[in-house]
Amino acid sequence: MKYRAFLSASAALLTTLVGVSAAPTAAAADDFDVLVFSKTVGFRHGSAITAGLQAIKDLGAANGFTVTATEDAGAFTSGNLAQYEAVVFLNTTTVTNDPASRLFTDAQRSAFEAYIEAGGGYVGVHAAADTEYGWPFYGGLVGAYFKSHPHQQTAAVKVEDRSHSSTAHLPGTWSRFDEWYNYKTNTRSTAHVLASLDESSYSPGSDAMGDHPITWCKPYQGGRSWYTGMGHTEQSYADAAFRKHLLGGIRYAAGDTNADCRPETGYTALYNGSTTGWSQAGAGSFSNSDATLKSQGGMGLFWYSAKQYTSYSLKLDWKTDGDDNSGVFLGFPPSNDPWSAVNNGYEVQIDPTDSPDRTTGAVYSFKGPDVAARDAALNPSGEWNTFELLVEGERLQVFLNGTKINDYTNTNPARSLAGHIGLQNHGTGDDVSFRNIRIKDLTTASPTTVQAEAYSSASGVSPYTKAGANGGRTLGYIDPGDWARYDGVAVNGATGFRARVVSGGPGGTLQVRTGSPTGPVLGSVAVPNTGGWSTFREVSTTLSNVPAGTSDVYLTFAGSGSGLFDVDDFTFTKAAS
């Protein structure tokens, strides 16, 4: 991906380019060009700048990009910037807390703004956050301004994203010596945090931030931004792990690799090393090492059996080793048969060489992705990718590394997007790895509707295929004393309950409880004979003593006789504010 919007035939390099050599491992498909800017007005990190510049030159020579170094702000013209895919601010400084202190003229600032807006990339290293306090555009680009720092010391860096090219090689906790900045603002709401500091591992002093991002990335006004607070010491640039960290940031900013760098808050980990709540169905398995799952053999399904979901954002990182095959299954009922997920849910495919309706990003056999958008967003085998699977009712949107590549709405009454999620292990040789599986439940912001057949556990009842049911199935075979449990339902603030039911039998009573099948009754509602087993109607009741947050909900059933009624779905409603 080349930034060439402003390229002029007369543009000249201001300093000597460093020669490019072939990479010892796979190099980028297209060479790119990087400008390193290290002008200082305030404190100067002299030895770190020298070591950092040499490290970037070495990285360029080994990885197929050219490097130009300058401390002349005159390089910031539209014509000159057009030659570069990324600009590195290497320990630049102005005078802390002095908005009048500046590196650039207004014209130079305007040229750089236009460069970013046209798709250019920015890399900020350490004191780049101690730069241009009086320039709001730059403040947004870097993400946060420097505030203070304690003495240099060893600290534990918590690596939050191990799929980004700058952090994928790192352990979950990275112990290193540096000068640890505090910042004036927390960037988590405006950038994607890649790593943060464990403040209990060092002495941050009175300026402790608590939640303390230290490396982040973000799309910004058409361009890309990556910043690391590390890199104060000369020794940092001799550290192989830090060099790879810096290389990944440069590659991301230059558009040489892709990542989902949108801000991310409110997610709960389903897997980040622990497989608690997961179950294997069918053949094969997943290895679990270094907080990474890797498929083995098959065909099987590793599914999250602890809870079912209705509306949610599911994010997960994945990587293929070659021409491999896997997928993410959504909206299937609990079962130890992996074919139940195939027949009742939907698979978002991982296999870039399969047919258009069965390739990476496809809703398998139902709708292929926007292939051009997919190809532009997809990282190759050996590199990590990130899916966001956004389910809102029966609509599924697929995002790859932050780019929307598919949008599918279920209209098949025999299927539903509500239910469980799982990872496919397709077969021997189809080896796909997964990291950092996390979910944001979106049902808390609106009435919570649950497909009744998507229970977590039950006694006496079972799903029943029925025409006219939402999702194509009901909770059936209901007799007096039976029950069904639904884990982690968002009931906070609910004041009412309604259910879609059908009965050609005697009808009965539906009770809503928490805690156990004999737990407190929140409400109960009579279910009549609706006029036949194909005639649906809604019944409703008020609720009382509803617990805060989420709760394990039980539906219990009472009446006389057998085959009382079926439940299609049920909803916890909230009073209008």
> Which residue from 456, 348, 455, 446 is spatially nearest to 405, judged by alpha carbons?
348
Residue 323: per-residue pLDDT: 94
Mean pLDDT of 492-498: 86
CA distance 71 to 323: 46
Query: Is residue 508 scored above 50 in pLDDT?
Result: yes
Mean pLDDT of 401-417: 90
Percentage of the chain modeled with pLDDT above 90: 80
Q: Which is higher by pLDDT, 244 or 394?
A: 244
Residue 11: per-residue pLDDT: 33
CA distance 546 to 574: 11
The CA dihedral of 149, 150, 155, 156, to the nearest 10 degrees, is -50
Residue 29: per-residue pLDDT: 39
Residue 88: per-residue pLDDT: 98
Q: Report in angstroms the alpha-carbon separations of 84 from 22, 78, 254, 350.
A: 20, 11, 8, 33
Looking at this protein, which amino acid is placed at residue 491? V
Residue 52: per-residue pLDDT: 98
Phi, psi of 214 (to 5 degrees): -130, -20
The single-letter DSSP state of residue 545 is S
Query: Is residue 448 scored above 80 in pLDDT?
Result: no
Query: Is residue 18 scored above 60 in pLDDT?
Result: no
CA distance 4 to 325: 36
Q: Which is higher by pLDDT, 62 or 22?
A: 62
Residue 58: per-residue pLDDT: 97
Which strand ranges, in their side-by-side order, compose the sheet holding 508-514? 457-459, 483-490, 550-558, 508-514, 521-527
Pairing of strands 182-183, 192-198: unpaired
Query: Is residue 55 scored above 70 in pLDDT?
Result: yes
Query: Is residue 4 scored above 90 in pLDDT?
Result: no
Mean pLDDT of 421-427: 97
Mean pLDDT of 214-223: 96
- Spatial contact of 493 and 549, defined as CB atoms under 8 Å apart: no
For residue 317, with 0-12 CB atoms within 10 Å meaning exposed, 13-18 middle and 19 or more buried, which class applies?
buried
Percentage of the chain modeled with pLDDT above 70: 93
The CA dihedral of 41, 43, 49, 50, to the nearest 10 degrees, is 100
Provide CB contacts within 8 A for 378, sequence distance 6+: 258, 352, 360, 385, 400, 401
Please report which confidence band the pLDDT of residue 388 belongs to, taking 50, 70 and 90 as the band edges: very high
Query: Is residue 394 scored above 50 in pLDDT?
Result: yes
The HSE-up count of residue 130 (CA atoms within 13 Å, CB side) is 27
Query: Is residue 30 scored above 80 in pLDDT?
Result: no
- Spatial contact of 165 and 319, defined as CB atoms under 8 Å apart: no
Q: Report in angstroms the alpha-carbon separations of 193 from 50, 196, 215, 498.
A: 28, 7, 6, 41
What are the DSSP calls for 230-292, one per residue? ---SGGGGG-HHHHHHHHHHHHHHTTSS----S---S-EEEESS--TTEEEEES-EEEEETTE
Phi, psi of 409 (to 5 degrees): -115, 125
Please report which confidence band the pLDDT of residue 573 belongs to, taking 50, 70 and 90 as the band edges: confident
Query: Is residue 101 scored above 60 in pLDDT?
Result: yes
Residue given tokens 């558009």 in the structure block: 255
Residue 484: per-residue pLDDT: 96
Q: Report in angstroms the alpha-carbon separations of 104 from 72, 96, 133, 183, 390.
A: 10, 16, 12, 23, 42
- The angle subtended at Cα 309 by Cα 308 and Cα 313, nearest 5°, is 140
CA distance 494 to 490: 9
Residue given tokens 């009454």 in the structure block: 413
Residue 23: per-residue pLDDT: 28
Tokens found for residue 551: 């709760």
CA distance 387 to 250: 22
Residue 162: per-residue pLDDT: 98
Residue 444: per-residue pLDDT: 57
Residue 447: per-residue pLDDT: 61
Query: Is residue 116 scored above 60 in pLDDT?
Result: yes
Over residues 235-275, the pLDDT tens digits come to 999 999 999 999 999 999 999 999 999 999 999 999 999 99
Query: Is residue 559 scored above 50 in pLDDT?
Result: yes
Mean pLDDT of 74-84: 98
Mean pLDDT of 454-466: 92
Residue 13: per-residue pLDDT: 28
Query: Is residue 124 scored above 80 in pLDDT?
Result: yes
CA distance 333 to 7: 56
Mean pLDDT of 539-557: 89
Tokens found for residue 370: 């926007």
Query: Is residue 12 scored above 60 in pLDDT?
Result: no
Mean pLDDT of 430-439: 97
Provide CB contacts within 8 A for 372, sequence distance 6+: none
Residue given tokens 């009744």 in the structure block: 452
Query: Is residue 286 scored above 70 in pLDDT?
Result: yes
- Spatial contact of 232 and 242, defined as CB atoms under 8 Å apart: no
Greatest CA separation for the chain: 90
Query: Is residue 103 scored above 50 in pLDDT?
Result: yes
312-316, 544-548, 571-575: least confident range: 571-575
How does the average pLDDT of the chain come out, rounded? 91
The HSE-up count of residue 529 (CA atoms within 13 Å, CB side) is 9
For residue 299, say if its preceding peptide bond is cis, omega within 30 degrees of 0: yes
Residue 576: per-residue pLDDT: 52
SS3 410: coil
Per-residue 3-state assignment (H helix, E strand, C coil) for 429-447:
CCCEEEEEEEEEECHHHCC
Mean pLDDT of 549-564: 92
